[in-house]
Amino acid sequence: MRFWMSLIGSGLLLSEAAAADSVVWHPKARTFDMNVRAMGLEQLLGVIKAETGWEVLVEPGLKGRVEVKFRNKSAADAMRFLLGDKRFSLVPRTKGGTRLMVYESNLRGATQKVASEMLAYEAEPLAPGADDGRLLTLKVKVHHLKSSFASINADSKLTNIRPLLAGVNELWQSANIRFVADRPVPMRAADRDAEKAFAGLFKPGVSATAVAQLQSRILHKMLPDLPDRGKVFHIVVIYTMPRAYGAVYLPAKGMVLMPQVKFAALVDADGVWKDGSPVFFAQSNILAHEMGHSLSLPHVATQGNLMIDGKLREGGGVGPGNKLAAKQIIAARRQAFTGGPYVPGLNPRPTKPAPPKSPED
Ligand SMILES: [Zn+2]
């Protein structure tokens, strides 16, 4: 008996050791959780760049391997810990975001841009059973929409969804739900006429009412029906949306559609664009709100709540709040237990709690 127990014990240790490296960034708290086994320092800095959206510059020839495991370390402490005797500067800037520079003796030595490196995260399998409040990790597939129309075609170099998703995860922490994203893949718009109609929504003279009336139907024609809708969460990045739409959840498609650039406008008939504020990275609460819809939550009228109806929001343009009520957490977790987003007909809202663990018989 004892022998078997010890075998089981070592088996558990082995599978834990095989767990993937992870770097989790909490943008509001500005802290990291890291669990990394023997990774090249430059590669790890590339991962940090991908997760945080920071600009990272190093002195050429940077060497070193890192093995770290910690939780809740402030950004500066985490860097001190990783970089050991190397010097660094970590400066938040209003334009261009935070910049990390790593060097041996002189700041001016940090001239080489580190390339973004994305870790592949796997969602942990959802073990059935009663909801005991455990962490639920949900898999998200990210797509960049491709089209010959400028208003639709997302530039895959422009948008890194990960820092945004880090903000989403921070907001969903109170429900102990985490979204983990794959590397983005291109997606082709599905219907040429619908693409043309969508591009037409930006023409001068198209009223807000017309956009509101037409947009949904056009989008449903333009976006493909993914075979795994209802089973996996999808975020589709589009170049822009008319009338400064922040993002939208399309239940029938099981996807959140998210513009790369807000307030973009067509300034002349030859297709010349003027980009408004690229507020993308400020929109994690908007994406978190849409993920709430994907987790079956309807709008509420409570100020400060994540799911507040945009029309009822005070201080327009500020975006939704960040609070979730206990009832919302229960409903969202019920949906999360299905492993996929709310898609009417395919993956409906569960009305009952997750089934309890099988009785001991
Ligand atoms: Zn909404």
Position with higher pLDDT, 295 vs 151: 295
Q: Which of 25-29, 210-214, 234-238, 319-323 has the lowest mean pLDDT?
A: 319-323
Strands 99-103 and 112-113: unpaired
Q: Binning pLDDT at 50, 70 and 90, where does residue 15 land?
A: very low
Instruction: Over range 177-200, report the average pLDDT.
Output: 93
> How confident is the model over 291-304, as a mean pLDDT?
95
Residue 356 predicted with pLDDT over 60: no
pLDDT (tens digit, 9 = 90+) per residue, 81-120?
999 989 999 998 877 789 999 999 899 999 999 998 888 7
Confidence of residue 266 (pLDDT cuts 50, 70, 90): low
The residue with greater pLDDT, 361 or 330, is 330
Checking if the pLDDT of 280 tops 80, the result is: no
Q: Cα(118) to centroid of ligand 1, in Å?
A: 30
Q: How many CA atoms lie within 13 A of 47 on its CB side?
A: 21
pLDDT at 175 (0 to 100): 97
CA 54 to ligand 1 centroid distance, Å: 29
33 Cα to the center of ligand 1, angstroms: 30
Using 50, 70 and 90 to split pLDDT, how confident is the model at 354?
Answer: low
Domains of the chain, by residue range, sit at 19-113, 136-336
Ligand 1: centre distance to CA 152 (Å):
22
Q: Check pLDDT > 90 for residue 278.
A: no
How many angstroms from the chain centroid is the CA of residue 251?
Answer: 18
The string of pLDDT tens digits covering residues 239-259 is 888 876 778 999 999 999 998
CA of 55 to the centre of ligand 1 (A): 32
> Among 94, 101, 84, 109, which Cα is nearest to 48's?
101
Alpha carbons within 13 angstroms on the beta-carbon side of residue 225 total 4
Long-range pairs for 38-45: beta carbons < 8 A, 24 or more residues apart: 38/65, 38/66, 38/67, 39/65, 39/66, 39/67, 40/64, 40/65, 40/66, 41/65, 41/66, 41/82, 41/83, 42/114, 43/117, 44/82, 45/100, 45/102, 45/114
> 182: pLDDT confidence band, cut at 50, 70 and 90?
confident
Ligand 1 mean position, distance from CA 321 (Å): 12
Measured at the CA of 351, the angle between CA 345 and CA 355, to 5 degrees, comes to 110
The CATH number fitting domain 19-113, selected from 1.50.10.20, 3.20.20.80, 3.55.50.30, 3.30.470.20: 3.55.50.30
pLDDT digit string (tens) for 117-149? 888 777 777 777 788 899 999 999 999 999 999
Region of residue 205 (left: phi > 0; alpha: psi -120 to 50; beta: else): left
Question: Coil, strand, or helix at residue 323?
Answer: strand
Average model confidence (pLDDT) for the chain?
Answer: 85
Say which CATH architecture domain 136-336 belongs to. Answer: 3-Layer(aba) Sandwich (3.40)
Residue-level pLDDT at 123? 75
Asked if pLDDT for residue 20 goes beyond 50, the answer is yes
Q: pTM of this prediction?
A: 0.84
With beta carbons less than 8 A apart as the criterion, state whether 38 and 67 touch. Answer: yes
Does pLDDT of 311 surpass 90? no
Cα of 333 vs centre of ligand 1, distance in Å, is 18
- The tokens of 336 are what? 């999360």
Q: Give the distance (Å) from ligand 1 centre to CA of residue 294.
A: 10
Distance 26 CA to ligand 1 centre (A): 24
Tokens of 325: 């009520």
pLDDT of residue 357: 53
How close is the Cα of 310 to the center of ligand 1, in Å?
Answer: 6
